[in-house]
């Protein structure tokens, strides 16, 4: 008999205030089918979607010696069709407007979908069919093709900064016989040697109901869903019983150290220690310790290494919980030119002090509040790789109980400073550890028995009407706009301060002004230093961030509803009274130098930046780097007075809107905003600077030398329409079908049919004043001409012999409509949607027109926007790779017309 389990917690926050109202009550059912499949059903009437999460309790740790890569390979193969549905699963789900993906780690492989409620039965049938009937459709051709795709993926990852570092570090911590010693992605040599029979045996053992758990969350009827689960999964035969290891502790004696060259990134030091596994004693305490060390500006390692000594670009610390045992990791990215030995010694001193003195109650309070609020934020998201369905399935896998939320929170809320300090001393030793140092580059088919599952895809169920959120408005006496979307549910509020001016308003010769102005706001304001601001946010359990774009700046705050007034007061201090301290500014410039160094070494980033400049022209604001980090010359020219001037000019009540999403009514929202911002004096806002006309490159191929690359990076681009243009929606649909999703024309051609790339995408970027169309891919150096030829052919045929088909139009409309409705799925995404309206000067009632605009896109409309805006002869192609090898390929292919770009 199933049990209806309520997840309750009535715990005290360490500030002394009760948080019983801050913990959601999740009513759920758990079931186990006779074949061993575990099922979690968690209906939520407040959701507009359904999340499906199926977890196979086998990852790379389940692979036999010499067969490393099977788990990763099956993550790909499971999408390539089953006996009764022999077509790509990505295509099927995306055509229905859903989201779908998978993830493999050392313990498990997870497949997930986020879909409209009427698609649930179809998705359950699809999941059951590939669990029970994948092998009859697994041909040698599919098997070999996906082996090649995985091997290319591994090569692409190895080419990235710090590629393979996580696997190297795990190999230092674990002995060779341990399941976690091996790389998660696999070994290229093992993958190449795998046979179809190896794959069949792995699937029969691991992709079986008694090795899986299924979680469904969202807008569904649990009785009907259980009926479907029994109908489609019930007839599947269980696999062989296998011993599932629950623990394999390891210990380090002495230091294990490995130094590897890092050709692309800054220097990095990674330290690791064995630690407890998921939900074991000490696991929660080490999560809190990680936050004390590196979460936020006031954390110990970040404060010392990044802000005081300025020898680190970034510090990250995490407790990597796993089933057999965890790994506590400290990762320090060096600042440009920093001495790695001195950096490591400074980090060791911070750790030694902590181990000797322990952590303080104040540090613990901030870490606990942060963990509590972060878990609430993740519960708001139904699906994906970190949302509610994933969390409930993880609880079941590691504790045997899906109703573990209260106990999960209790690990943090019941922790003590003494307990966290004790676990730090128990697990961390400066003598017994693994250390990985990235040295910086010098400057410069067998028959399968049938099972009785229905063999036809069920029809789409009845649709569920979408309820558009109500956007309410108000204006304070000083001209500051207040926009509210009321959202009952979790006791959180999302607050955005939207400044209607971004990078496009950077003064001439000073790119990066808007970005650094925003970044300096929390480096000191009013009576508070940057450290004190960070400590305040951390004590509130709030998540604060600043983001900026070509057309706006946003200060974002996610906070517990009961602390909203405190959060608003802190925000108003930041936006009104920033200190712009010259020492903090110099420190920030140093960190941005490091960021620019890393961006220049990343061929994918650099390729887009080069295309921007070629499409818009070097003097156009949209021709500056899309990362917002400016240019080296501009950064050096910037002074703190430039930031003060920018702030005085644009940070005014009439140029700032406050957006709130949460369980507030309009009057309450206005009253709270008036209390925080009402005394900010009104001042006239200057007119935004006029954008110059774009001066696009006439088209052609520009080659930039990136020596040492195993793969070349291709980026093609052309001018497109601004977000407010009437053609934008139709062009968005065309882009989706052409290259904007996995199941797009160009990705199915270049990846699936020709094996040219791990993935190719096109993008449509709509700004306030213009737009940019991009195509990006990484391909083997010797196949660059072939890839360019195919992409050019696809775009020309889109304009001539192969316009969008009726099926593609239907799929594109469904995807856009589903994407629009899903974009209101969390508080943050709702607030982002409001920001989008503001930044692009869209009418505030534009949401009401969106679904109708999408439904009205027909074949003639799509063909028209292709003809007007996507001209293959106007594309600028940027190629980054070893220039001599690329040019040899150009000549062999009969190409004669290209030019060399400036720089390395």
User: What's the confidence (pLDDT) of residue 445?
Assistant: 46
User: What's the confidence (pLDDT) of residue 564?
Assistant: 96
Distance, in Å, from the CA atom of 288 to the CA atom of 286, rounded to the nearest integer, reads 5
Residue in the structure block whose two tokens are 């500051």: 480
Q: How many C-alpha atoms does 654 have within 13 Å on its Cβ side?
A: 12
Q: Is the pLDDT of residue 356 over 90?
A: yes
Distances (CA, A) of 31 to 41, 228, 741, 886: 8, 13, 35, 58
Neighbours of 254 (CB within 10 A): 9
Distance, in Å, from the CA atom of 410 to the CA atom of 767, rounded to the nearest integer, reads 45
Q: Cα angle vertex 506, ends 501, 508, to 5°? A: 150
Percentage of residues in the chain having pLDDT higher than 70: 95
pLDDT tens-place string over residues 816-851: 998 999 899 899 999 999 999 999 999 999 999 999
Token representation of residue 858:
């027909």
Distances (CA, A) of 508 to 471, 621, 634, 635, 647: 37, 9, 9, 12, 16
User: What's the confidence (pLDDT) of residue 607?
Assistant: 95
Beta strands in 708-770 (DSSP E): 711-720, 760-766
Distance of CA 750 to the CA centre of its chain: 24
Q: Cα angle vertex 213, ends 209, 214, to 5°? A: 105
Distance, in Å, from the CA atom of 152 to the CA atom of 540, rounded to the nearest integer, reads 45
For residues 783 and 754, the answer to whether their CB atoms sit within 8 Å is no
What's the mean per-residue pLDDT of the chain? Answer: 91
By C-alpha distance, which of 677, 656, 688 is closest to 554? 656
To the nearest 5 percent, what fractions of the chain are helix, strand and coil? 45, 20, 35
Residues 6+ apart with CB under 8 A from 388: 26, 42, 51, 217, 378, 379, 380, 381, 382
Distance, in Å, from the CA atom of 296 to the CA atom of 303, rounded to the nearest integer, reads 8
Residue 113 β-bridge partners: 52, 100
For residues 863 and 803, the answer to whether their CB atoms sit within 8 Å is yes
Q: Is the pLDDT of residue 15 over 50?
A: no
Q: Is the pLDDT of residue 700 over 50?
A: yes
Residue 5 β-bridge partners: 28
User: What's the confidence (pLDDT) of residue 452?
Assistant: 60
- The interaxial angle of helices 388-399 and 405-413, nearest 10 deg, is 80
Residues 6+ apart with CB under 8 A from 722: 728, 766, 767, 768, 769, 770, 771, 840
User: What's the confidence (pLDDT) of residue 692?
Assistant: 85
Distance, in Å, from the CA atom of 607 to the CA atom of 427, rounded to the nearest integer, reads 44
User: What's the confidence (pLDDT) of residue 156?
Assistant: 82
- Beta-strand relationship, 255-262 and 433-440: parallel
Distance, in Å, from the CA atom of 521 to the CA atom of 865, rounded to the nearest integer, reads 42
Phi, psi of 249 (to 5 degrees): -70, 150
Helix (H) or strand (E) holding 261: strand 255-262
Helix (H) or strand (E) holding 380: helix 361-380
pLDDT tens-place string over residues 194-230: 999 999 999 999 999 999 999 999 999 999 999 999 9
* 3-state SS, residue 162: coil
Phi, psi of 780 (to 5 degrees): -55, 145
By C-alpha distance, which of 138, 150, 141 is closest to 78? 138
Same CATH fold, 471-677 and 255-375+402-440? Answer: yes
pLDDT tens-place string over residues 535-546: 899 888 899 999
Distance, in Å, from the CA atom of 104 to the CA atom of 81, rounded to the nearest integer, reads 19
Q: Is the pLDDT of residue 496 over 80?
A: yes
Span 656-673, average pLDDT: 96
* 3-state SS, residue 9: coil
Handedness of CA 868, 872, 875, 880 (dihedral sign): positive
Token representation of residue 670:
């206005």
Alpha helices in 84-136 (DSSP H): 89-95, 120-132
The DSSP 8-state label assigned to residue 310 in this structure reads -
Least confident of 143-147, 711-715, 900-904: 900-904
Residue 53 β-bridge partners: 112, 215
Q: Specify the higher pLDDT residue, 97 or 482.
A: 482
For residues 39 and 157, the answer to whether their CB atoms sit within 8 Å is no
Phi, psi of 718 (to 5 degrees): -155, 165
User: What's the confidence (pLDDT) of residue 679?
Assistant: 97
pLDDT tens-place string over residues 864-885: 999 999 999 999 999 999 999 9
For residues 616 and 609, the answer to whether their CB atoms sit within 8 Å is no
For residues 336 and 275, the answer to whether their CB atoms sit within 8 Å is no
700-900 — its CATH code?
A: 3.30.830.10
pLDDT tens-place string over residues 510-521: 999 999 999 999
User: What's the confidence (pLDDT) of residue 97?
Assistant: 84
Q: How confident is the model at residue 4 (pLDDT cuts 50, 70, 90)?
A: very low
Phi, psi of 544 (to 5 degrees): -115, 140
User: What's the confidence (pLDDT) of residue 446?
Assistant: 45
Distance, in Å, from the CA atom of 465 to the CA atom of 818, rounded to the nearest integer, reads 12
User: What's the confidence (pLDDT) of residue 451?
Assistant: 54
Torsion angle of C-alpha atoms 487, 488, 493, 494, degrees rounded to 10: -20
Q: How confident is the model at residue 5 (pLDDT cuts 50, 70, 90)?
A: very low
Span 480-498, average pLDDT: 94
Token representation of residue 136:
């009859």
For residues 554 and 499, the answer to whether their CB atoms sit within 8 Å is yes
Distances (CA, A) of 528 to 462, 510, 653: 56, 28, 22
The DSSP 8-state label assigned to residue 302 in this structure reads I
The DSSP 8-state label assigned to residue 264 in this structure reads S
Residues 6+ apart with CB under 8 A from 213: 37, 38, 39, 40, 54, 55, 57, 393, 396, 397
Where are the chain's structural domains? 33-233, 255-375+402-440, 471-677, 700-900
Span 59-75, average pLDDT: 93
Q: Is 480 exposed, middle or buried (0-12, 13-18, 19+ CB in 10 A)?
A: buried
Q: Which CATH superfamily is domain 33-233 in?
A: Metalloenzyme, LuxS/M16 peptidase-like (3.30.830.10)
Span 24-43, average pLDDT: 93
* 3-state SS, residue 29: strand
Distance, in Å, from the CA atom of 299 to the CA atom of 828, rounded to the nearest integer, reads 25
Helix (H) or strand (E) holding 66: none
Phi, psi of 836 (to 5 degrees): -60, -45
Long-range contacts of 618-622 (CB under 8 A, 24+ apart): 619/692, 619/695, 620/691, 620/692, 620/694, 620/695, 621/503, 621/504, 621/505, 621/506, 621/550, 621/691, 622/504, 622/550, 622/691, 622/694, 622/767, 622/769, 622/770, 622/772
Neighbours of 441 (CB within 10 A): 16
User: What's the confidence (pLDDT) of residue 442?
Assistant: 57
User: What's the confidence (pLDDT) of residue 444?
Assistant: 46
Rg of the chain over Cα atoms, rounded to whole angstroms, equals 27
Fold of 255-375+402-440: Cytochrome Bc1 Complex; Chain A, domain 1 (3.30.830)
CATH tag for 471-677 (out of 3.30.230.10, 3.30.830.10, 3.20.10.10, 1.10.10.10): 3.30.830.10
Distance, in Å, from the CA atom of 408 to the CA atom of 398, rounded to the nearest integer, reads 12
Q: How confident is the model at residue 18 (pLDDT cuts 50, 70, 90)?
A: very low
Distance, in Å, from the CA atom of 182 to the CA atom of 200, rounded to the nearest integer, reads 22
Largest CA distance in the chain: 78
Distances (CA, A) of 672 to 482, 566, 660, 743, 830: 10, 10, 11, 47, 20
Q: Is the pLDDT of residue 2 over 80?
A: no
pLDDT tens-place string over residues 738-789: 999 988 999 999 998 888 898 999 999 999 999 999 999 999 999 999 999 9
Q: How confident is the model at residue 14 (pLDDT cuts 50, 70, 90)?
A: very low
The secondary structure of 570-588, three-state, reads HHHHHHHCECCCHHHHHHH
By C-alpha distance, which of 181, 168, 170, 206 is closest to 70? 206
The total number of residues shown for the chain amounts to 904
Q: Is the pLDDT of residue 415 over 80?
A: yes
Distance, in Å, from the CA atom of 573 to the CA atom of 526, rounded to the nearest integer, reads 6
Token representation of residue 547:
């983001």
């Amino acid at each position: 008999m199933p049990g209806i389990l309520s997840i309750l917690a009535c715990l005290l926050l360490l500030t002394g205030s009760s948080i019983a109202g801050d913990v959601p009550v999740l009513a759920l059912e758990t079931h186990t089918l006779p074949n061993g499949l575990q099922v979690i059903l968690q209906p939520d009437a407040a959701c507009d979607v359904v999340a499906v999460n199926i977890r196979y309790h086998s990852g790379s740790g389940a692979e036999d010696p010499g067969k490393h890569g099977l788990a990763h390979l099956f993550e790909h193969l499971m999408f390539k069709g089953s006996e009764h549905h022999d077509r790509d699963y990505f295509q099927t789900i995306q055509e229905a407007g859903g989201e779908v993906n998978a993830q493999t780690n050392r313990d498990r492989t997870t497949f997930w979908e986020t879909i409209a409620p009427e698609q649930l039965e179809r998705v359950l049938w699809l999941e059951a069919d590939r669990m029970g009937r994948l092998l009859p459709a697994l041909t040698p051709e599919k098997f070999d093709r996906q082996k090649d795709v995985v091997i290319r993926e591994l090569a692409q990852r190895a080419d990235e900064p710090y590629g393979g570092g996580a696997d190297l570090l795990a190999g230092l911590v674990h002995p060779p016989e341990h399941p976690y010693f091996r790389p998660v992605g696999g070994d290229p040599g093992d993958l190449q040697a795998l046979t179809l029979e190896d794959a069949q045996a792995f699937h029969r053992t691991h992709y079986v109901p008694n090795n899986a758990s299924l979680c469904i969350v969202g807008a569904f009827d649990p009785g009907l869903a259980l009926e479907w689960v029994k109908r489609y999964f019930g007839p599947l035969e269980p696999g062989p019983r296998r011993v599932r290891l629950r623990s394999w502790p390891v210990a380090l004696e002495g230091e294990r150290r490995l130094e590897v060259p890092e050709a692309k990134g800054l220097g990095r030091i990674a330290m690791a220690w064995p630690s407890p596994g998921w939900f074991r004693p000490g696991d929660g305490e080490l999560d809190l310790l990680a936050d004390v060390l590196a979460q936020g500006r006031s954390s110990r390692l970040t404060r010392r290494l990044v802000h005081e000594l300025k020898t680190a670009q970034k510090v990250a610390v995490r407790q990597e919980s796993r089933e057999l045992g965890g790994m506590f990791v400290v990762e320090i990215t060096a600042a440009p030119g920093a001495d790695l030995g001195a950096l490591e010694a400074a980090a060791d001193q911070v750790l030694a002090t902590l181990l000797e003195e322990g952590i303080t109650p104040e540090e613990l309070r901030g870490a606990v509040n942060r963990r509590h609020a972060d878990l609430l934020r993740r519960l708001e998201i139904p699906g994906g790789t970190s949302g509610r369905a994933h969390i409930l399935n993880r609880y079941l896998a590691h504790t045997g109980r899906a109703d573990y939320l209260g106990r999960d929170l209790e690990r943090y809320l019941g922790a003590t400073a003494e307990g966290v300090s004790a676990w730090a001393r128990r697990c961390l030793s400066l003598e017994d550890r693994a250390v990985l140092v990235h040295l910086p580059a010098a400057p410069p088919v067998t028959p399968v028995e049938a099972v009785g599952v229905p063999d036809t895809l069920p029809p789409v169920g009845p649709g569920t009407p979408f309820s558009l959120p109500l956007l309410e408005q108000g204006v304070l006496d000083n001209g500051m706009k207040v926009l509210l979307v009321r959202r009952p549910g979790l006791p959180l509020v999302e607050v955005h301060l939207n400044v209607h001016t971004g990078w496009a308003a950077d003064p001439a010769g000073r790119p990066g002004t808007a970005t650094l102005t925003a970044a300096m706001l929390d480096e000191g304001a009013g009576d508070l230093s940057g450290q004190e601001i960070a400590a305040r946010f951390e004590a509130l359990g709030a998540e604060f961030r600043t983001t900026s774009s070509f057309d706006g700046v946003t200060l974002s705050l996610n906070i517990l509803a009961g602390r909203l007034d405190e959060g608003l007061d802190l925000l108003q201090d930041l936006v009104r009274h920033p200190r712009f301290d010259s020492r903090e500014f110099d420190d920030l410039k140093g960190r941005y130098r490091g960021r620019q160094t890393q961006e220049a070494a990343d061929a994918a980033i650099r390729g887009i930046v080069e295309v921007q400049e070629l499409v818009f022209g070097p003097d156009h604001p949209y021709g500056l780097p899309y990362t917002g980090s400016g240019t080296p010359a501009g950064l050096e020219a910037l002074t703190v007075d430039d930031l003060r001037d920018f702030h005085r000019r644009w940070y005014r009540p009439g140029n700032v809107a406050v957006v709130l999403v949460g369980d507030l009514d309009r009057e309450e929202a206005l009253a709270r905003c008036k209390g925080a911002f009402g005394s900010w004096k009104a001042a006239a806002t200057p007119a935004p600077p006029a954008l110059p006309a774009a001066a696009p490159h006439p088209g052609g191929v520009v080659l930039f030398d990136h020596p040492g690359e195993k793969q070349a990076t291709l980026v093609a681009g052309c001018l497109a329409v601004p977000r407010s243009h009437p053609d934008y929606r139709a062009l968005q649909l065309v882009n989706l079908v052409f290259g904007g999703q996995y199941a797009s024309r160009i990705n199915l051609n270049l990846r699936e049919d020709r094996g040219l790339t791990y993935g190719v995408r096109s993008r449509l970027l709509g700004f306030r004043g213009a737009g940019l169309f991009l195509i990006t891919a990484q391909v083997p150096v010797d196949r660059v001409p072939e890839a360019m030829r195919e992409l050019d052919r696809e775009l020309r045929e889109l304009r001539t012999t192969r316009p969008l088909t009726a099926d593609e139009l239907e799929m594109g409309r469904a995807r856009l409509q589903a994407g629009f409705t899903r974009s209101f799925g969390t508080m943050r995404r709702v607030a982002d949607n409001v920001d989008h309206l503001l930044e692009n000067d869209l009418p505030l009632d534009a949401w009401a027109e969106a679904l109708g605009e999408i439904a009205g896109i027909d074949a003639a409309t799509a063909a028209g926007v292709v003809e007007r805006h996507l001209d293959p002869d106007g594309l600028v192609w940027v190629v980054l790779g070893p220039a001599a090898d690329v040019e040899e390929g150009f000549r062999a292919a009969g190409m004669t017309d290209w030019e060399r770009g400036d720089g390395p």
